[in-house]
Amino acid sequence: MFTNMEMIHILASFRYLNMLSDEYIDGYITTIPRIGIGTSIDFEALHTGSAIADSQNRQNALDKMRLNIRHAIKKGYRHFDTAVLYQTSHILAEEINMSGIDRGNFFVTIKYQNTPVSYEVDAKEFKGYIDLALLHSPPLSDDPRTFQKEFIREWGKYDGLKKNKFARDVGISNFYPTQVRLAFEAISEYNLSHEEKMCFPFANQLEINVMYQAYDDVEICKEYGMTLIAHTSLKSLCEEKISSKIKKISNQLKPNKCSPAQLIIAWLLSRGIKVVIGSKNNEHLSENLKSTEFVSSISASVKAEIQKLSVERPLAQISITSMDYDKSLEKKLQQKISHGNV
Ligand SMILES: NC(=O)c1ccc[n+]([C@@H]2O[C@H](COP(=O)([O-])OP(=O)(O)OC[C@H]3O[C@@H](n4cnc5c(N)ncnc54)[C@H](OP(=O)(O)O)[C@@H]3O)[C@@H](O)[C@H]2O)c1
């Protein structure tokens, strides 16, 4: 007889074998397409300023995003990432439904802040289901037991989404290794039904870029059979010092004419990580999609060059609503676990 955790690991290894390519079963895409598009819009346009400026800014930002989604669909993107926080899911649904392309070809991820209250409406808008519903951020507690209790309280709702077929799969976002481990242990140890125990996170969406390279995160996701999806991957291009070094490395890949953005995306793909990228620029949309052509050029020496650029800094905090997560919380959890406080 297997323990709950052993069952999770057996199922996880099957899932891991399955996740690296884009597959269709019965007309539905079953794995996450390797390069996806993010639909977050400028937080300032959504949340600040005077009421009139807000509504104008918000409308402009949404109109731009609509066009952006339309172009991305035409160019062949099929994975779209949205969140309740972004307020873009309705335009994404409209653009997918108007595209003339079968819904089964799209993979839609929606992130919910804790309780997924709008899931029924969202599922209806996306012709009956969401492909992947993610818990947008981990519980903010730095106490391991409280973290687990809070996680289980939220996770039950995600299990319900899957059971009721509103979501084809469910997962987590912004969980660092200690938080992933605590979450899986909670699912396996807490007094849940067999069905609930077998509903464990399918993916973790996390900030991964040249500065935060997430080697431990890749390992823990392999261990639990989770697909790792990188967000904010091109952030390092805004850091002048790092961006010039990235440019140098991408120049080495010539004569293939690899751009810095393509280098970063290809490097992530070569590590088995999927990506969601934000771009409002038509040329960038095409360029990014072509990154797959460079995956085979990411040699061990290129990887080693990129590894040198890693800066294990605390991640950017998103201090909007209650979502204020960063790596230091994980460190505090880790310290309490090492002191036997779990
Ligand atoms: N789970 C979470 O908590 C979380 C947090 C943040 C983001 N996300 C997801 O990740 C998505 C992407 O995040 P993001 O947009 O903040 O970061 P990003 O994808 O790392 O960066 C977007 C920036 O990169 C530029 N860019 C794109 N392609 C380029 C290219 N080929 N060459 C040069 N520059 C290029 C874009 O400019 P142009 O517009 O000019 O192309 C834009 O300024 C979001 O939309 C969201 O869906 C999730």
Cα distances (Å, whole numbers) of residue 194 to 187, 189, 191, 202, 309 = 10, 11, 9, 17, 45
Please tell me if the CB atom of residue 342 comes closer than 6 angstroms to any atom of ligand 1. Answer: no
Say how many Å lie between the CA of residue 203 and the centre of ligand 1: 19
Question: Are the C-beta atoms of residues 170 and 199 closer than 8 Å to each other?
Answer: yes
Question: Which DSSP letter does residue 139 get?
Answer: -
Residue minimizing CA distance to atom 36 of ligand 1: 279
- The percent of residues in the chain predicted with pLDDT above 90, rounded, is 55
Q: Helix or strand or coil: residue 312? A: coil
Q: Is the pLDDT of residue 317 over 50?
A: no
Q: What is the CATH number of domain 4-338?
A: 3.20.20.100
- 115: tokens are 């309780």
* Residue 213: pLDDT band with limits 50, 70, 90: very high
Separation CA 210–CA 184 (nearest Å):
28
Residue ranges per domain, the chain?
4-338
Stated pTM of the model: 0.90
Nearest CA-CA partner of 39 in 216, 285, 314: 285
Q: How far is the CA of 239 from the centre of ligand 1 (A)?
A: 14
What is residue 319's predicted lDDT score, i.e. its pLDDT? 40
Ligand 1 atom nearest to 111, measured from its CA: 1
**148-156 mean pLDDT:** 90
State the chain's mean pLDDT as an integer: 85
H/E stretch holding 331 reads helix 327-338
pLDDT tens digits, one per residue of 29-79: 667 899 999 999 876 555 555 666 677 888 888 999 999 999 999 999 999
What pLDDT is attached to residue 3? 77
Ligand 1 in reach of 236 Cβ (< 6 A): no
Q: Are 157 and 169 in contact (CB under 8 A)?
A: no
Q: Is the pLDDT of residue 322 over 50?
A: no
For residue 137, give the ligand 1 atom closest to its CA: 3
CA distance 80 to 99: 14
Residues whose CB falls within 8 Å of the CB of residue 144, separated by 6 or more in sequence, listed in order? 182, 333, 336, 337, 341, 342
Q: If you take atom 15 of ligand 1, which residue's CA is the nearest one?
A: 278
Residues in the chain: 342
